[in-house]
Amino acid sequence: MGNAKGWKHLVDSLQWLDLKIQMLLNKQQLDAPPQDDFMDPFKGLVVSEQEVQRLLLQEPVLLAEPEADVEMQAALAEWEALLARQVAQCRLEQVRLPLPHTADVFALTPFEARCLLACMAVEIDRKYEKLYAFLQDDVTCKHPTVDLVLKLLCDTPAERMEARVALGPDGKLMTYFFKPEESAAAGTWLARPLRLDERLVRFFLHGEDSGRVLPCLDVYGADHEWPALIWEHEVQDRLTGGLPDFFAKNAGESSRNVANPRQWVVRLTGNPGSGKLLQAGHFCRRVGRALVVVDLRRALEEEYAVHEVVAQAVREARLLEGVLCIRHVHLLLEGDLSDRRMYRMLDAIRHAPGLVFLLSEKPWRSSDWSESQVVQSIDLQIPPDDLRRTIWEQLAAGRPFDAGIDWQAVAGKFRFTIGQTRRALEAAEHFARWDRGGTASIDLEAVHKACYLQVQHKLEKKAVRITPRQDFDKLVLPPEQKDLLRNACAQMKFRTQVYGDWGFGRKLSYGKGLSMLFAGPPGTGKTMSAEVIAMELQLEIYKIDLSQIISKYIGETEKNLHEIFAEAQLSSSILFFDEADALFGKRSEVKDSHDKHANVETAYLLQKMEEYEGITILATNFQQNIDEAFMRRLNYVVRFPFPDAQYRELIWRTTFPRETPLGDDVDFPYLAEKFQLAGGSIKNIVMSAAFLAVEAGEPVRMRHLLRAIKHELDKTGKLLLKNELEDYLHELGLN
């Protein structure tokens, strides 16, 4: 027991219960014929009346006379007066007595409170198992049944009728206090045994410090030390400004009244790690309340019934006079049973005391609010660019990170919440220790690896991840195009300074991302350039084939695009839309519903690109089909020219790895001058020639390259003219 006074009160309450049992026993004896003592040989199999009397009085007594009821009623009144004085005195001393406290916070009737006492008795002293078995004429029935508590605690028919309602399936006792009995359906309602939930037993015996209720339910005390708030302190100001008056006016009654005249519901929405739980925790510490937290993700994973978990959390919040908080509410919006689960959850929280926090990673709405609920919504944002850099620097301080890490660039690439930043730094430290030992410094590679560990998305359902292997040194493009690509990378590297330190972020409500158009013939380096950008910025890149995303069904294309951008927002990945011609043709005059629908799809993609704060790259083979209005809304348009002989020679030379053995007869200037091929075709030819050479057991020679060229041209229906081959006709057997 948490305190001696609580234990004393419980023991005295059992004395009162003993008198009630004695009175019921007397009544049963009056109604039953006298028995001989022939049952002694069966001791242990049945409970005799003599044993019951001995247990009650601790010594053999004669059967009670009927007039003893008057004396017992007087004794009951004395015990009740004593118990009332104990409760009043403890309230003055601010000492919490578990049973009276429970009756207060749940607004229990005297019958309901005494029913809990009758059920608690068997958890304290096993003598009550035998007493209840005897009173119910069933040696196997060691817990009180509905029928027994009605007889034991109700004196009049009116009291029994009220008690039957209290013990109904929707009553507080069945909802919050009693364990559901699997065998209850086999018998009548009156025969149902009443067993207290173990959590209530622990609370009555040990008070608040009584262990965990469920794996998916956590309790944070009013004095819990929460991590400091780094930003969005104004959320605390909003909560403090709106809710303390409510707490001050209703602190005594709101937590003690199941049917609250008013309940505040605060919906906190934000990305993972945005501080939703932290904000709720800081407010509860400020007002001196415990925080009872339900983790719906874990509850669903472990297949708990959500409404039952929430009901137990409501009970916990009332017992502790705390605040209920439910995490991951957005998970109830998924699946076929979403509406039903959400409704049952919202119905369960109506009985929570005073204030409820609902935490979600996605915005959601509901019309299932009662008139007594006041609903407020607060969106927690990702820190702005300049603050993200400061957060990275502050949280990294004191850890062995390389001095050369550019936290400004890291903050620009990863739009992380504070929680994600903290977890990424911890993971980076673990990676460095694992890879290089405990004293190793933490490099940028470990930071990037840790950052991608923090993001969980489903992009691969509609896109293909590209592993970048190319850098600017391997990219063969004219200087003008290379400069545009480098400028684009610089825009992402220094975005925190421009949008943050220089204040441009406060001027722009959207369009902080980077949108690019790569236009040029097939094989001119569009995909490779996207890889180079990803390699330079150390970002993930996903390739989306727009021809596979577009649907003939109205609204389906927009749905696919919404899912792609929503998932990309979680990771700041580069989105590379290939085959953009499938969607971005010239917007023509609307002649039918299909034209109108195509224009809607185009406008929707432009809207999502402007909202996205990462990098979006569109690739097209036909720039002339894209109208000027569309191109004006892009940050960069990079035109990829067909390579001339000079750049073709450079492509031929750089496509071969250093390890590849080349024959003395390989003539790169000749290949570049004679064959007008794009970089993509040259790559295919080099690969094919390498396999031909390996098969022949030779280094790569001109004959292998020429055969591969012929195969490549055959694919497109082009002819290989003899005057193009000159001295190499014999290599192909054409001389």
What is residue 730's predicted lDDT score, i.e. its pLDDT? 62
What is residue 508's predicted lDDT score, i.e. its pLDDT? 77
- Of 434, 450, 445, the C-alpha closest to 395 is 450
If 0-12 CB within 10 Å is exposed, 13-18 middle and 19+ buried, where does residue 411 land? buried
Q: What is the mean pLDDT of residues 585-597?
A: 50
What is residue 43's predicted lDDT score, i.e. its pLDDT? 47
Same domain for 124 and 24: yes
Domain boundary pick from 425, 454, 483: 454
Is 459 contained in some domain?
A: no
pLDDT digits (tens, 9 = 90+) for 483-501: 999 999 999 888 888 887 8
How many of the other CB atoms lie within 10 Å of CB of 178? 22
Nearest-angstrom CA–CA distance, 170 and 174 = 7
Domain boundary pick from 348, 379, 410: 379
What is residue 549's predicted lDDT score, i.e. its pLDDT? 83
Same domain for 179 and 41: yes
Same domain for 529 and 489: yes
Ranking 165-169, 180-184, 580-584 by mean pLDDT, the lowest is 180-184
Same domain for 304 and 436: no
Same domain for 724 and 631: no
How many of the other CB atoms lie within 10 Å of CB of 306? 22
Nearest-angstrom CA–CA distance, 707 and 702 = 9
Q: Which of 41-45, 85-89, 481-485 is predicted most confidently?
A: 481-485
Is residue 255 predicted with pLDDT exceeding 50?
no
Q: Locate tokens 């008690």: which residue?
A: 163
Q: What percent of the chain has pLDDT over 90?
A: 37
What is residue 298's predicted lDDT score, i.e. its pLDDT? 94
What is residue 249's predicted lDDT score, i.e. its pLDDT? 46
What is residue 554's predicted lDDT score, i.e. its pLDDT? 78
What is residue 258's predicted lDDT score, i.e. its pLDDT? 46
CA 53, 57, 61, 66 torsion-angle sign: negative
What is residue 254's predicted lDDT score, i.e. its pLDDT? 44
In this prediction, residue 563 has a pLDDT band, given cuts at 50, 70 and 90, of confident
The count of domains in the chain is 5
195 and 178 Cβ atoms separated by less than 8 Å? yes
Same domain for 395 and 314: no
Q: What is the mean pLDDT of residues 201-216?
A: 79
In this prediction, residue 65 has a pLDDT band, given cuts at 50, 70 and 90, of very low
pTM value is 0.75
In this prediction, residue 74 has a pLDDT band, given cuts at 50, 70 and 90, of confident
Same domain for 129 and 77: yes
Same domain for 178 and 231: no
In this prediction, residue 590 has a pLDDT band, given cuts at 50, 70 and 90, of very low
Domain boundary pick from 430, 454, 478: 454
Is 658 contained in some domain?
A: yes
Is 295 contained in some domain?
A: yes
pLDDT digits (tens, 9 = 90+) for 379-437: 999 898 888 889 999 999 888 888 889 888 888 888 899 999 999 999 998 888 887 76
Same domain for 676 and 702: yes
Domain ranges, residue 87: 4-206
Is residue 137 predicted with pLDDT exceeding 50?
yes
Q: What is the mean pLDDT of residues 555-576?
A: 86
Is residue 593 predicted with pLDDT exceeding 70?
no
Same domain for 176 and 96: yes
Is 460 contained in some domain?
A: no
Same domain for 389 and 374: no
If 0-12 CB within 10 Å is exposed, 13-18 middle and 19+ buried, where does residue 313 land? buried
What is residue 728's predicted lDDT score, i.e. its pLDDT? 66
Write the CATH number for 260.
3.40.50.300
- CA-only gyration radius of the chain, Å: 39
Q: What percent of the chain has pLDDT over 70?
A: 85
Amino acid identity at 642: F
Same domain for 123 and 80: yes
Nearest-angstrom CA–CA distance, 222 and 281 = 9
What is residue 659's predicted lDDT score, i.e. its pLDDT? 93
Write the CATH number for 656.
1.10.8.60
Is 270 contained in some domain?
A: yes
Is 212 contained in some domain?
A: no
What is residue 279's predicted lDDT score, i.e. its pLDDT? 96
What is residue 494's predicted lDDT score, i.e. its pLDDT? 87
